[in-house]
Chains A and B, each alone.
Chain A
C-alpha cells in the first residue's frame, strides 16, 4: 500500500498530502515536490499532442532505494502522486492504476461539492477515508 499520497493542484500547490506518520513526513513532502519535476517533464513531452491523447496514468516517475513514486495527472492538470515502499514488491501496476482511479473518483466527488472552492485544501472526510484505505496500515 501507499506510504504517502498527495494531490497537487494545477499551479503546483498542494491540495492534500498525507503520509504514514512513522517516518519523517518532511521527507515525503520533499519527495513529492521533487517528483513534480518529473511529472512536468512527462506532461510536456507529449505537449505537442492534445491532452486527450496523453494517458492519465504516468507510471513510475522514479525509483529510489527506499521507495517508488508513481504519478497520475488529470485533464485539468491536477496531479496525484503516490509513494510506495520499495520493499512492497507485490504491488502490480494494475493495482497502482486502480488506486489512482479511486483517487480520481473521490477527487471528482469533492469537486462536485458546491461548497468546495477549487484551490482550497481538501478537507472532505470521504476523501480522507478513501485515502486511508489505500495507505499502509501503520500502527
Chain B
C-alpha cells in the first residue's frame, strides 16, 4: 500500500470514523458492515464503493484495517470531489476536501456523529445536520446561524482546528474548511523552504484567514472541479459558509451572507474564466522580484540568473526546464518582464500542485500590461489571497476580458513602438517621408531613390540602410530590439539632419543645388532632391563629397578666369570707367551672401555670375590659384570662339552650361532687381567675364536680351565660373551647376546599374531554382539507379 500522508485534521477525522466503525472495539479492524454503511453514506454509487474497497486493499485483506480504512476515506474524498480514483492521487492532491458522509441515515451514525463532536450538547443539532446538509443554501444559512452562537462561547482560541469541532452543524463543512487551512499549511511548508525568496507565503500562513486564501487557491482547475461537485451535491450548498467561516471565528457568519455568496459566485465565475490569470498583486510581486534581479524593467534577465532564482523554488530541474520552455517566448535564453512573470506564475502553480500546461496559457503570453493597472488598490480579500497563494482567480480585479486586455496591451505595445518611431522620425521632417517610403517598400525599391543621386559617402549610405533596417525591425515584439531600432533611426536621422546644415554651411554647393532647383526646370534632379523625402540623405550625399575634380575647373576657368582677370585688371586699372565702376559696386552684395553660404535661391543662382565678382574681391584673389590657369585659358578662349571651347568640353558641361545660363539669366534678373541702373551694366559685367575680351565690350552695350543669344558663350563661361567657384571654398556654386550635369549622368548610369543588378539577381534566382531542380533530379536518378543494375 502506498504510504498515506494525512494532515492533522484528516488524521483526527479518520480516526474518529474508524472508531465509529470499530464497533467491535478491536482498535484495528473496522467491521465491514459498518464501513460499507459509512461508505454508502458518502453518497457514492455502489461501483465506486467497490472500486474504493478494491483500491484500498480491503478486498485483498478481507477486512478494513486502519490503513485501508484511511485510504478508503481518502478515496471517498477524491471521488466526492470528482477526481478520478487513483492510488497516486492520494498523496498528490493536497487540497482534498474531507469526505462527506450524509448523517442521519442511522441513529448509530448519528451517535457516531456525536462522537465526532467533542462537545456533548450536540445532540439536538444532529437532526439538523442532515436536514441542513440537504437543505438549500438559504436554509443552511439559517440553520447555521443559530448554531454559531453556540459555537462562539466555546473557546476557539485553542486552535482553529478545534473550534469547528464545536459546531457540529458545520462539522462536515468545518472539516472541509480546516482541511483547507491544513492544506494551506501544507502549501505553507513548501514555499517557506526556499527562504527569503518566498516570504509572502510564509507570512501569510498564520491565521485562519489563510483558509480563505487557501479556498481561493483552489480556483485553478481542481477547484473548478470541486466547485462543480459542490454545486451538484447538497452539501456543497453550504459552501458559501466556508469563506466566512474561514475568517476569524469571531466574525459571525450571519453578518455577511450575501457577501459570501457573491464572493463565491465571483470566484466560480472567474474560476471558469481563466485559471492562469495573474492577479495584480501577484504581478506586482513578480515585478518586485524581477527588480531584485534586474533593475531595469525593460531589460532581460539572463538565463543563468533566472536559473539560480528558480532553482530556489526547489522544483525538479525537469519541471523548471519545462517551465522555461513555456515561458521563454522568444527563445532568446533570457527573460523579459512578461516572460519572467509567466515563469514565476507557472512555478507557483506547480508548487501548489497544479500540473504544468503543455502550452503557455494565453493569459501568460508575454505582453505589455500597464504597470499602472497592476498597482491598483487591492481589496483586503485579494491581498490575503495573494499572500496565501498567488495562484488565485480573484474576482475583483480580473478584467472580465483577459483576451481583450491582451490584445489591447499588444496593440498598445505596438502602437507605442510605432509612436516612438514616428516621433523620432518627425523630428526631422524631411526624413519622415523617407521612412514611409521604406516601410512598405522592399529594399530594392528603396535603393532606387537614393541611387540616382548618391555620390557616396558610404557613411550616409550606411545610415540609409540602417534606416531601412530599422523600419523592418520595427515590428519585432521584443523590447530590446525595439529599443535599438528607434535609437538607431534616431541617431541616423539626427546625424542626417546635422549633416544637412553642416554641409550646407560647409559646402555651398548643396544649398545652391537645393535652392537653384526651385528655379531651375533643368535641375529637376535636384528638385527631386528636395521634394523627395528620401532625397535629403541623398542631398547630403551629394553635398558631402568635396567638389568634383578639377576637370570642370579647367573649362570653367577658361572662360571665366579670362574675363575675371580682365575685370580685375580693368577694375584697378580704370575705376573711372563707368562699366568698371559700376562693376565693383555690384560685386560686394553678391559675394557676401555667397560667402556666408546662406542659401537663397537667387543668391545662389547668382553664384554663377558671381565668381567674377567674388574673384574681384581682393581677399579672394589669393584663393584662386586657377587664375593663373584662367589667364591661360582665357587667352585660349580668346583665340577660339567660345562655342568651340564649349564643344570641346563634355556634353555634360553643356548641360551644366545650359543650367548655368538659366541661372545666369536669373542672376541677371536679380542683379537688375538690386540695382536698376547698375544691373544692366552689372549684368553686362556678368556677362563680360564670360565673354572673351572683345565681347565684353560689346556686351556692355548690349541689353540683357541680346545677351541671351549668347547662351553658348555663357555656358562655357559659366563652366569656368563654376570651376572658379569650386576653387573658392566659400562659393562653390558654379561647380554645383557643373556637378549637376555630372550627377545627372551619374544618376542615369546608376539607374541602369540598378536595372541590370535587378536583372542579374532575377537571373541568379532562376539559376538557383534550376540547380535545385537538377539536384533533385539527380537524387531521383540515384534512387532509381539500383534498380537499373538489377
Q: Do A and B come from one complex?
A: yes
Enumerate chain B residues within 8 angstroms of A112, measured Cβ to Cβ. Answer: 303, 328, 331-333
Are A123 and B318 within 8 A (Cβ)?
Answer: yes
**Is A46 positioned at the interface, with any CB of B under 8 Å from its CB?**
no
Enumerate chain B residues within 8 angstroms of A109, measured Cβ to Cβ. Answer: 325, 331
**Is A51 positioned at the interface, with any CB of B under 8 Å from its CB?**
no
Are A114 and B304 within 8 A (Cβ)?
Answer: yes
Are A114 and B772 within 8 A (Cβ)?
Answer: no
Are B776 and A113 within 8 A (Cβ)?
Answer: no
Are B324 and A114 within 8 A (Cβ)?
Answer: yes
Instruction: Name the interface residues of B298-319: CB closer than 8 Å to any CB of A.
Output: 303-304, 306-307, 310, 317-318
Are B328 and A113 within 8 A (Cβ)?
Answer: yes
**Is A94 positioned at the interface, with any CB of B under 8 Å from its CB?**
yes
**Is B780 positioned at the interface, with any CB of A under 8 Å from its CB?**
yes
Q: Chain A contact residues: over half helix, strand or loop, or mixed?
A: loop
**Is B775 positioned at the interface, with any CB of A under 8 Å from its CB?**
yes
Q: Which A residue sits closest to B772, measured CB to CB?
A: A94
Given A109-B331, A113-B328, A93 and B307 contact (CB-CB distance below 8 Å)? no
**Scoring A residues 43 to 71 as 1 if CB is less than 8 Å from chain B, else 0, what string do you get?**
00000000000000000000000000000
State the CA gap A107–B195 with chains docked (Å): 34
**Is B783 positioned at the interface, with any CB of A under 8 Å from its CB?**
yes
Q: Among B304, B310, B325, B333, point to the contact of A126 (Cβ < 8 A).
A: B325
Q: How far is the CB of B361 from chain A (nearest CB, A)?
A: 15
Instruction: Name the interface residues of B259-318: CB closer than 8 Å to any CB of A.
Output: 303-304, 306-307, 310, 317-318
Are A113 and B318 within 8 A (Cβ)?
Answer: no
**Is A115 positioned at the interface, with any CB of B under 8 Å from its CB?**
yes
**Scoring A residues 99 to 133 as 1 if CB is less than 8 Å from chain B, else 0, what string do you get?**
00000000001001111100000011110000000
Are A92 and B325 within 8 A (Cβ)?
Answer: no
Enumerate chain A residues within 8 angstroms of B232, measured Cβ to Cβ. Answer: none
* Size category of the binding interface on chain B: 20 to 34
**Is A89 positioned at the interface, with any CB of B under 8 Å from its CB?**
yes
Are B779 and A113 within 8 A (Cβ)?
Answer: no
Enumerate chain B residues within 8 angstroms of A125, measured Cβ to Cβ. Answer: 322, 325, 358
Q: How far is the CB of A108 from chain B (nearest CB, A)?
A: 8
Enumerate chain A residues within 8 angstroms of B349, measured Cβ to Cβ. Answer: none
Q: Which B residue sits closest to A89, measured CB to CB?
A: B783
**Is B214 positioned at the interface, with any CB of A under 8 Å from its CB?**
no
Enumerate chain A residues within 8 angstroms of B776, measured Cβ to Cβ. Answer: 92-94
Are B331 and A115 within 8 A (Cβ)?
Answer: no
Enumerate chain A residues within 8 angstroms of B310, measured Cβ to Cβ. Answer: 115
Q: Among B306, B321, B331, B332, point to the contact of A116 (Cβ < 8 A).
A: B321
Instruction: Name the interface residues of A69-92: CB closer than 8 Å to any CB of B.
Output: 89, 92
**Is B320 positioned at the interface, with any CB of A under 8 Å from its CB?**
yes
State the CA gap A113–B319 with chains docked (Å): 12
Given A93-B776, A94-B772, A113 and B783 contact (CB-CB distance below 8 Å)? no
Are B306 and A114 within 8 A (Cβ)?
Answer: yes
Enumerate chain A residues within 8 angstroms of B324, measured Cβ to Cβ. Answer: 113-115
State the CA gap A115–B347 with chains docked (Å): 14
Enumerate chain B residues within 8 angstroms of A116, measured Cβ to Cβ. Answer: 321
Instruction: Name the interface residues of B534-551: CB closer than 8 Å to any CB of A.
Output: none
State the CA gap A115–B322 with chains docked (Å): 9
**Scoring A residues 21 to 61 as 1 if CB is less than 8 Å from chain B, else 0, what string do you get?**
00000000000000000000000000000000000000000
Enumerate chain B residues within 8 angstroms of A113, measured Cβ to Cβ. Answer: 303, 321, 324-325, 328, 333
Are A115 and B772 within 8 A (Cβ)?
Answer: no
Are B331 and A89 within 8 A (Cβ)?
Answer: no
State the CA gap A92–B775 with chains docked (Å): 9
Query: How many contacts between A and B, using CB within 8 angstroms?
Result: 45
In this complex, how many residues of chain A approach chain B with their Cβ under 8 Å: the count is 14
**Scoring B residues 457 to 496 as 1 if CB is less than 8 Å from chain A, else 0, what string do you get?**
0000000000000000000000000000000000000000
Q: Which A residue sits closest to B319, measured CB to CB?
A: A115
Enumerate chain B residues within 8 angstroms of A115, measured Cβ to Cβ. Answer: 307, 310, 317, 320-321, 324
**Scoring B residues 356 to 377 as 1 if CB is less than 8 Å from chain A, else 0, what string do you get?**
0010000000000000000000
Q: Which A residue sits closest to B778, measured CB to CB?
A: A93
Q: Which A residue sits closest to B308, measured CB to CB?
A: A114
Q: Which B residue sits closest to A93, measured CB to CB?
A: B779
Q: Which A residue sits closest to B320, measured CB to CB?
A: A115
State the CA gap A66–B330 with chains docked (Å): 40
Q: Which A residue sits closest to B307, measured CB to CB?
A: A114
Enumerate chain A residues within 8 angstroms of B320, measured Cβ to Cβ. Answer: 115
Q: How far is the CB of A95 from chain B (nearest CB, A)?
A: 10
**Scoring B residues 773 to 790 as 1 if CB is less than 8 Å from chain A, else 0, what string do you get?**
001100110010000000
Are B304 and A124 within 8 A (Cβ)?
Answer: no
Q: How far is the CB of A55 from chain B (nearest CB, A)?
A: 14
State the CA gap A21–B775 with chains docked (Å): 33
Q: How far is the CB of A92 from chain B (nearest CB, A)?
A: 5
State the CA gap A89–B298 with chains docked (Å): 51
Q: How far is the CB of B51 from chain A (nearest CB, A)?
A: 32
Q: How far is the CB of B308 from chain A (nearest CB, A)?
A: 9
Enumerate chain B residues within 8 angstroms of A124, measured Cβ to Cβ. Answer: 321-322, 325
Q: Which A residue sits closest to B304, measured CB to CB?
A: A114
Q: Which A residue sits closest to B301, measured CB to CB?
A: A114
State the CA gap A93–B306 with chains docked (Å): 40
Q: Which B residue sits closest to A116, measured CB to CB?
A: B321
Q: Which B residue sits closest to A108, measured CB to CB?
A: B331
State the CA gap A124–B326 with chains docked (Å): 10
Enumerate chain A residues within 8 angstroms of B328, measured Cβ to Cβ. Answer: 112-113
Q: Among A92, A93, A94, A123, point to the contact of B321 (Cβ < 8 A).
A: A123
Q: Which B residue sits closest to A96, measured CB to CB?
A: B779
Q: How far is the CB of B772 from chain A (nearest CB, A)?
A: 7
State the CA gap A113–B317 with chains docked (Å): 11
State the CA gap A93–B771 with chains docked (Å): 13
State the CA gap A23–B703 with chains docked (Å): 105
Enumerate chain B residues within 8 angstroms of A89, measured Cβ to Cβ. Answer: 780, 783
State the CA gap A41–B331 with chains docked (Å): 34
Q: How far is the CB of B790 from chain A (nearest CB, A)?
A: 12
Q: How far is the CB of A46 from chain B (nearest CB, A)?
A: 20
Q: Which B residue sits closest to A65, measured CB to CB?
A: B786
State the CA gap A133–B358 with chains docked (Å): 16
Q: Which A residue sits closest to B783, measured CB to CB?
A: A89
Q: Which A residue sits closest to B775, measured CB to CB?
A: A93
State the CA gap A74–B331 with chains docked (Å): 19
Enumerate chain A residues within 8 angstroms of B318, measured Cβ to Cβ. Answer: 123
Q: How far is the CB of B318 from chain A (nearest CB, A)?
A: 6
**Scoring B residues 315 to 351 as 1 if CB is less than 8 Å from chain A, else 0, what string do you get?**
0011011101100100111000000000000000000
Are B303 and A114 within 8 A (Cβ)?
Answer: yes
State the CA gap A112–B302 with chains docked (Å): 10
**Scoring B residues 45 to 80 as 1 if CB is less than 8 Å from chain A, else 0, what string do you get?**
000000000000000000000000000000000000
Pairs A–B under 8 Å by Cβ, sample size 10: A89-B780, A112-B303, A112-B328, A113-B325, A113-B328, A113-B333, A114-B306, A115-B307, A123-B318, A123-B321
4 A-B pairs besides A112-B328, A115-B320 with CB distance below 8 A are A93-B779, A112-B303, A124-B322, A125-B358
Q: What are the nearest 8 A-B pairs in CB distance? A: A114-B303, A114-B307, A112-B333, A115-B321, A115-B320, A113-B324, A93-B779, A109-B331
